[in-house]
Structure 1
Amino acid sequence: MPQIYSSYHLEQLCQTLASHLQEPPADVFAKEVIITQSAGMESWLKHGLTSRNTILANFSFQNQDGFLAEIHQLLFGERPKNNHDSLKYGLYDLLADPAFAEAFPDVAAYYAGDSLRRFQLAGKIADLFDQYQLYRPEMVSGWNQGTRSAQNEAEAWQMWLWQTLHIEARAEIRDRIFRKMDEEEALIRNIFPSVSLFGITVYTNFHLEFFRKLALITRVRFYVCLPTDLQPYENDLLLAFGTKAAELAGMFDLSGFTPVENPANTSLARLQNQILTNKTTFSGSVDDTIQASACYTPAREVECLYNYLLDLLDKDRSLNPADILVMATDIDKYAPYVRAVFHNAPVSIPFQVSGASATSDDTIVAALGLILRFGDDDFTSEKVVSLLEQKRISQRFGIGDTGYIRSVVRNANIRFGLENRKEDDTVYVGWKYGLDKILLGYAMLTDEEFPISEDLALYPFKDTEASASYDLFRLKHFVETLHSVTAAQSEERSLADWKNWMFAEVIDPMVYHDDFSKDDRTELTSIYRSLAYTDRLDYGHSVPFRVFLAELDKRLFAEPRTIRLNTGRVTVSSPVPVRGIPFRVVCFLGLDNGVFPRQDRFQGYDLLGEEYRAGDRSKKEADKYLFLDTLMAARERLYLSYTGLSVRDNTPIPPSIALDILFQYLGEPDLAVRQPLHGFSPQYQPENQRLFTYLYGGETGEFLTAGDSPEPFSSVSVYSFVKFFENPVAWYFNNILGIHYEVTDDTLPETELITPDGLLKWQVKKEMAGIIKQEELEAYRTRCIREGLLPLKSLGQVTFDQYNEEIAGIREGLRGLAGDTPERAVAIDLDIDGMRISGPVGRVFDRDYLALALSKSKEKEWTRAFLQSLLLFAAGSIDRARMIQHDGNILELPVFGKSDARTRIGSLLDFFRRGMEQPLKFSLAATRPPAGKPFDTAWVMSALQTQAKGNDYGLPPDPYMEVLLNERYFDPLTETDLEDIRQVAVLLNLNELP
């Protein structure tokens, strides 16, 4: 008979097992078999046994099905053929059988013509067949006899599939093993002298019968972890969460149960002891050994967790990070927040994320998944560049600056498609055309049109940087390699051939892996092992790529990564792999209403859903038992967290029913601390024992003052000098504080241009305004369409004609004033009062400066033209300056001698220097009151408010001005401030503007 050892104290069970392992074996070469249910328990047990026995050698960790298959291999020379893969692919073929479609047309209609749906259904039915054999063996036995247990359509077509498969049922395999075991007792006893089953919480009758039969031949020991041995349950938590625990207890003789009480005088210890002794109610108050937080978001949950852990580590110097376990209901959702918060925190707490899916980190599998999910329809600019930005992919292709690649793709007007069609002009936004343009720009230093075929020409991309040019060749190689992968997806191959293709054509050429890295070698080995079954599978038929990808999704991409315990760091994991493992501090995140415990949902054809029986699988009951294990596993402290407050309206959100039951049991329905929305909330105070934070300091954002001004500018560009006087407030935020409120979207455009934005429209119209000859204008239109400055095809022509009409007055005025005189740009380089002003100024025709005012903003256009002409006069480069307005009217700009111009610039520089120290209280919008309005404080403040908020006549809001107004920066607006506005307006000659 098997030997049974039970306790709620896992360390006690580990010590018992360690003592048993010290017994001298009959055969020193025979392996000790230890069966566990999770990788986390295996890892913890290895460490526990090694620390107790000093050494752990010649052992084999397995799961229940794996050991059963090994026994089959020993007795029959092969593993059982009734495995999930054989079932799944057998069903995949059977579902395509015309006989099935004829007998069950409604079922066949679900997947008709869709191989992926057929494969997914085959996988679900294979799972059900596996469960039926464990939980409804009498039904499967009836099917073998042609008898249905219920008269419904779902059972009819499933029985047809089962009978047609001719698969040996698990029960038949078990009976055959039993008969062979009776014949080979000596062999089994010699190979497996001792088998230990440790910490398993789920047994089926099928497996228990096998191990009880095995116990008649060799030594079998069960180490069962249970919250208590006392029945029936009277404790409220046992009644609420202990359904599965009671089922497990009913399978064993618990006469040898070892109760180990928690000796501490804390609320957590009392809670555990009352569960252990099956007491009905909780006694005493709740201290800080049990804490809970209600937060607004998962990110705030992690921030509050960090504060909690750092406070513990600070107060208890005996506590180490390795003593802490953090579980999250959805580890893939919480892991990025954990990394972001803990990596950027002011005090480092070492941590290790375990159990997240293989695609949730910078891994070979993550890169592989991104590539294999990429299809022919995904060749848009953003999707291709985003794929290339994956670290392992960019490393493999040797591309160091993906930001540069992104900017080149944007500027080269690559948007979607590989080649596209010339007939609708989409060829100009495809990858082939764009890459040809980029590489020709590197090879040919020309701005002229270049033919690449009989009916296609391009303008070489001229902004290629020599230092990064090789990255552009690598980009081309990447796109071509990616295309070869997507082209192969239309083929059909056997599973083994798809596996070999993946290694040879995807992983090797596209994903970086270091042969000298242990982690990389381990991951590659894991990938190969995950798909090694394809070489053994008795299924040589070809399958579409979609089927192979679905297989990878289940076996590779969704599989959790290796569970790592005992790393010396805080362990962050999903709950199942670490359930019941004791830690001094246990934290549980994501205990949200509707998330935990999970709900049992059955497909309409799932015959298990028709009736629940004791021992059946239940996600809800399994999660409740897991929560009970969590309560018992925390040795000193328990921390629970959930999203309990609405970001939208601040209303409370109820927690998980498991938390609610716990709070009620403790007599503390409001146990959870309501954490503020932001980590920098003023609610956090050092003296508050319940609300505290280590993540944010007490600094406030204030404007720089004269006492702490930045290093003064000794030089400024012409562009920056002009922009300052156009909007000194925005200039201060941008250039001194480094703050930019403009929304910048780095996402690359993935569709053709339909409506150009204001900046693009201004850029094209500005260039058009300077083109006088009609043939040059037509050539510029063609170029704009090819380079993405105008919409494609006829819409581009319509848009261009509209622009031409809008600037007709400017073009006519320029033609009349400039004639055939060529335009030139003057390089300004002035040193005035210790400030160097340098940069180009264009629109100079011989000795005449002609500014073009494309917008209707008179003050802004005048200021720009006036300042540029003033710099030209100071440089002695012009004799006259005029501004052509959008309607064709011509304004004369003031004429200055070199000395007067330098004096005027010097006066403006005084205000410029003041505007470097703090925002200059000046705005072009507040310089010229309308007729009948006095220039006073009330009008100026009204003008500033309008600038900040915008209006219904096309004036956009100014977020920089809005910030200053909200900060009451202009309160009070003094007479000195008004005089400064008047003086700057005079220096800019705004009084001469009509």
Structure 2
Amino acid sequence: MLQLYHSNRLESLADGLALLTQMPAGSPLAPETVLVQSNGMARWLALRLAERNGVCANLRFPYPAAYTWELFCTLLAEVPERSVYNPDILTWRLMSVLPQLKEEPGFEPLAHYLHGGDELARYELARRLADVFDQYLVYRPDWILAWEQGEEDHWQARLWRRLTEAGGAHRAALLERCLTALRSGEVAADKLPARLSVFGLSNLPPPLLTLLTELGRHIPIHLFLLSPTEDYWGDLRSEREIYRQAADADPEALYLATGNKLLASLGRQGRDFHELLLDQGPEEEALYEPPAGDSLLGGLQLDILELRNRGEDGERTMLAAADNSVQVHNCHSRMRELEVLHDQLLALFDGYPDLTPADVVVMTPDIEAYVPYIEAVFGTAEPHRIPYTIADRSLRAEEPVAEAFLQLLELVESRFDADQVTSLLALPAVQRRFDIDEHELPRLHDWIRRNGIRWGVDAAHRAELELPAEEANSWRAGLRRMLLGYALPGDERRLFAGTLPFDEVEGGVAELAGRLAEFLENLFRLPASLAGKRSAADWQLALNQVLERFFLGDEGEETALQAIREALADLRAEVEAGGCDEALSLAVVLSHLRGALSAAGRAGSFLGGGVTFCAMVPMRSIPFEVVCLIGVNDGEYPRQHRPAGSIWWLRSLAEGIARRAAKTAICS
């Protein structure tokens, strides 16, 4: 059975799910499974269910893709826990295959990426191709299966057939097997969950929807869908779509309606998904609630609910002078945006005593660009401080130790600029490792400046960079002056072996010079210790040693250091699973780590008890009393994403892949 609940309020859907889960469908010890689209939605839903039922326990909130693979493992034989066609693993399989293709006819679109033997360019190409093939597996499994049967002879089909020669299970083939098993009744009832719920998803790939439909013939499946209108809106079209479809004909002859123009323009993806759901023939239950009040916002919501355009009949609606339900503030800078936002929130909290910071969300297309301004305004606004949390930050952006680790690896092929080196000393984990106190940093900066240290380890290092082999203003020249000043004071006049001692290093501060020397010597040995190519296992060992040599974290920093260790372990596991046995350069490993550490961070920052600052991402439909948008500027919103060259051609072929512009409209 496929049961569809739709409502214009997510709270009503959550209440429906709370009522449903009060009685277990099977064993009371079996966990209830609810598919969600994000960690933020899972957190909000758990809080809402706990509020309604008194407790939220023994529920799990997997993502649709993860649950689909879990279902394959449960229902089908010989399915591995992780597919070799997973994009993280497929990247390394492609790394091994691509060099074999550069001279083969038919692969000319890839030739300019492969000629020249640039390993980093090959890795970037492999990573993008793995992502594209993964999109095909999800949205166009019919293409994948057709290619495997020999259909099509373009380079993508031929490359895919080359990859499948090694065997292994992929999502498209397993989906076909699973559908066959469900349709033929070969699946044992005890292998299926007693009930499955899908909550708040605004889009699903059609193949996955087909799987849910077939699964619904065996178990009850409850879909909770947020829909802006109770009326049928599958035939709504924006004016642009109508004129495009009409071409040279009369648009009115098509008998297509726009309904509410705002919904027709921005709701295309939701409309199409709602239409797909209705095509499955579910039983329906409507949980709609008319918007309360006669404010501007309430009027917009009511017009969408009733599919009407206010004012078309000539009647004008008068708004109250104090109506502030929809506000637009034009600000001249990001800092001013945050200042105005802070003032407006204070006014709202003053005007609505029941409103709390947890009821407010602030969304922006680029969260990282606004973090310094958020902290500058909201973090220092005493005595009117508003509690806040910042979500959707990557580990690299949120934890300085992760960024410092990457900077350390980037130093290997750099000029060792003074600013780059001293910025590492500003990190508490580095200070702790080399026993340097924060109050000693100004003295170190003064010594570096007064000894004229600018860049370069020494003359030999500069020669390696194909620059004049001069010792002056290098790190070793300055360090030699410091240590010589402790051993042989020169009164700023007497030279020793052509070096003028630095007299400031004497007495008790001499120990600080020794600790600086220890840090620098470890830094200078880094290029030699990381030179050349090596296996992923050897890179894991070497880079873990770098972590131990340079960082000593406290309780908070140790979490980030452990995340780096896990990223290194994942790299080794993915390379080995992909069968890539070639030695890798530091440039490739560094590129991989940048991506891994730039992934979204912890989910706990979302709904953390204060105002939630987060990224404006697709399918973030969590309800808040107050929704604020910042950074919706020309050139930044809607976001543009156009992969270069043949990769753009690749993506344009996948007509089933949802376009980012539509996703951007849905998220807002």
Q: When the two structures are superposed, what TM-score results if normalisation uses the length of structure 1?
A: 0.58
2:361 is matched with which residue: 321, 325, 330? 325
The structure having more radius of gyration, on CA atoms, is 1
Q: How far apart, in 2, do the equivalents of 1:262 and 1:522 lie?
A: 45
Q: Secondary structure at the match of 1:290?
A: coil
Contact 1:195 1:219 in 2 (8 A): yes
Cα pair distance change 1:31/1:531, threshold 3 Å: farther
Write the letter of the residue equivalent to 1:204.
Answer: P
Alignment partner, residue 131 of structure 1 = 135
Q: How far apart, in 2, do the equivalents of 1:465 and 1:562 lie?
A: 51
Do residues 509 (structure 1) and 534 (structure 2) align? no
Q: How far apart, in 2, do the equivalents of 1:244 and 1:225 lie?
A: 13
Cα pair distance change 1:82/1:578, threshold 3 Å: closer
Alignment partner, residue 623 of structure 1 = 664
Alignment partner, residue 285 of structure 1 = 319
Cα pair distance change 1:264/1:543, threshold 3 Å: same
Cα pair distance change 1:340/1:435, threshold 3 Å: same
Alignment partner, residue 287 of structure 2 = 258
Alignment partner, residue 408 of structure 1 = 447
User: Could you report, residue by residue, the CA deviation over 1:262-299 in whole angstroms, capped at 9, with x for unpaired residues?
Assistant: 21232111211211221222644372111111111111
Contact 1:267 1:284 in 2 (8 A): no
Alignment partner, residue 85 of structure 1 = 88
Contact 1:40 1:577 in 2 (8 A): no
Q: How does 1:292-371 map to 2 (within 5 A)?
A: 292-346=328-382, 347-371=384-408
Q: Secondary structure at the match of 2:605?
A: coil
Q: Secondary structure at the match of 2:411?
A: coil
User: Could you report, residue by residue, the CA deviation over 1:903-933 in whole angstroms, capped at 9, with x for unpaired residues?
Assistant: xxxxxxxxxxxxxxxxxxxxxxxxxxxxxxx
User: Could you report, residue by residue, the CA deviation over 1:68-113 in whole angstroms, capped at 9, with x for unpaired residues?
Assistant: 2222333435223321123211111111116655653562333422
Contact 1:358 1:365 in 2 (8 A): yes
5+ long unaligned stretches in structure 2: 237-258, 312-316
Alignment partner, residue 472 of structure 2 = 428
State the shift of 1:37 in Å.
0.9
Looking at secondary structure, tell me which structure has more strand per residue.
Answer: 1
Contact 2:485 2:506 in 1 (8 A): no
Cα pair distance change 1:482/1:219, threshold 3 Å: farther
Cα pair distance change 1:42/1:469, threshold 3 Å: farther
Contact 1:72 1:78 in 2 (8 A): no
Q: How does 1:148-547 map to 2 (within 5 A)?
A: 148=152, 156-166=154-164, 168-179=169-180, 182-189=185-192, 192-230=193-231, 231=233, 232-233=235-236, 234-253=259-278, 255-281=284-310, 283-285=317-319, 287-346=323-382, 347-399=384-436, 400=438, 401-420=440-459, 426-447=470-491, 449=494, 451=496, 457-464=498-505, 466-502=507-543, 504-514=544-554, 517=555, 519-520=556-557, 522-533=559-570, 534-535=572-573, 537-538=576-577, 539-541=579-581, 542-547=583-588
State the shift of 1:439 in Å.
2.0
Contact 1:499 1:531 in 2 (8 A): yes
Q: How far apart, in 2, do the equivalents of 1:441 and 1:558 lie?
A: 48
Contact 2:7 2:226 in 1 (8 A): yes
Q: Secondary structure at the match of 1:475?
A: helix
Q: How far apart, in 2, do the equivalents of 1:465 and 1:305 lie?
A: 53
Contact 1:7 1:257 in 2 (8 A): yes
Q: How far apart, in 2, do the equivalents of 1:431 and 1:116 lie?
A: 30
- The range that moved more, 38-47 or 275-284, is 275-284
Cα pair distance change 1:480/1:105, threshold 3 Å: farther
Write the letter of the residue equivalent to 1:505.
Answer: Q
Do residues 10 (structure 1) and 10 (structure 2) align? yes
Q: How far apart, in 1, do the equivalents of 2:141 and 2:263 lie?
A: 30
Contact 1:494 1:540 in 2 (8 A): no
Q: Secondary structure at the match of 1:576?
A: coil
Cα pair distance change 1:156/1:578, threshold 3 Å: closer
Write the letter of the residue equivalent to 1:59.
Answer: L
State the shift of 1:329 in Å.
1.1
User: Could you report, residue by residue, the CA deviation over 1:783-834 in whole angstroms, capped at 9, with x for unpaired residues?
Assistant: xxxxxxxxxxxxxxxxxxxxxxxxxxxxxxxxxxxxxxxxxxxxxxxxxxxx
Task: Identify the structure with bigger relative contact order (alpha carbons < 8 Å, sequence gap 6+).
Answer: 2
Cα pair distance change 1:174/1:508, threshold 3 Å: same
- The range that moved more, 164-173 or 241-250, is 164-173
- The range that moved more, 386-395 or 324-333, is 386-395
Q: How far apart, in 2, do the equivalents of 1:527 and 1:71 lie?
A: 31
Alignment partner, residue 45 of structure 2 = 45
Alignment partner, residue 250 of structure 2 = none
Q: How far apart, in 1, do the equivalents of 2:176 and 2:109 lie?
A: 37
Contact 1:485 1:505 in 2 (8 A): no
User: Could you report, residue by residue, the CA deviation over 1:507-562 in whole angstroms, capped at 9, with x for unpaired residues?
Assistant: 22323422xx3x44544454444454432642352211111111112221343443
Write the letter of the residue equivalent to 1:124.
Answer: R
Q: Secondary structure at the match of 1:513?
A: coil
Q: How far apart, in 1, do the equivalents of 2:101 and 2:640 lie?
A: 37
* Equivalent residues, number: 610
User: Could you report, residue by residue, the CA deviation over 1:754-784 in whole angstroms, capped at 9, with x for unpaired residues?
Assistant: xxxxxxxxxxxxxxxxxxxxxxxxxxxxxxx
Cα pair distance change 1:584/1:207, threshold 3 Å: same
Q: How far apart, in 2, do the equivalents of 1:470 and 1:18 lie?
A: 65
Q: How far apart, in 2, do the equivalents of 1:259 and 1:116 lie?
A: 53
Alignment partner, residue 95 of structure 1 = 98
Alignment partner, residue 24 of structure 2 = 24
Q: Secondary structure at the match of 2:625?
A: strand
Q: Secondary structure at the match of 1:67?
A: helix
RMSD over aligned Cα atoms:
2.6
Cα pair distance change 1:59/1:551, threshold 3 Å: same
Write the letter of the residue equivalent to 1:7.
Answer: S
Contact 1:35 1:198 in 2 (8 A): yes
Contact 1:229 1:249 in 2 (8 A): no
5+ long unaligned stretches in structure 1: 149-154, 628-994
State the shift of 1:437 in Å.
1.6
Alignment partner, residue 600 of structure 2 = 559
Q: How far apart, in 1, do the equivalents of 2:368 and 2:641 lie?
A: 21
Do residues 570 (structure 1) and 570 (structure 2) align? no
Q: How far apart, in 2, do the equivalents of 1:554 and 1:589 lie?
A: 26
Q: Secondary structure at the match of 2:273?
A: helix
Contact 2:401 2:427 in 1 (8 A): no
Cα pair distance change 1:19/1:138, threshold 3 Å: same
Alignment partner, residue 249 of structure 2 = none
State the shift of 1:603 in Å.
4.2
Cα pair distance change 1:28/1:376, threshold 3 Å: same
- The range that moved more, 422-431 or 268-277, is 422-431
Q: How far apart, in 2, do the equivalents of 1:499 and 1:610 lie?
A: 37
Q: How far apart, in 2, do the equivalents of 1:468 and 1:18 lie?
A: 66
Alignment partner, residue 549 of structure 1 = 590
Q: Secondary structure at the match of 2:459?
A: coil
State the shift of 1:578 in Å.
7.7
Q: When the two structures are superposed, what TM-score results if normalisation uses the length of structure 2?
A: 0.85
Q: How far apart, in 1, do the equivalents of 2:580 and 2:47 lie?
A: 43
Cα pair distance change 1:2/1:499, threshold 3 Å: farther
Contact 1:194 1:218 in 2 (8 A): yes
State the shift of 1:609 in Å.
5.0
Alignment partner, residue 647 of structure 1 = none
Alignment partner, residue 762 of structure 1 = none
Contact 1:238 1:275 in 2 (8 A): yes
State the shift of 1:119 in Å.
0.4
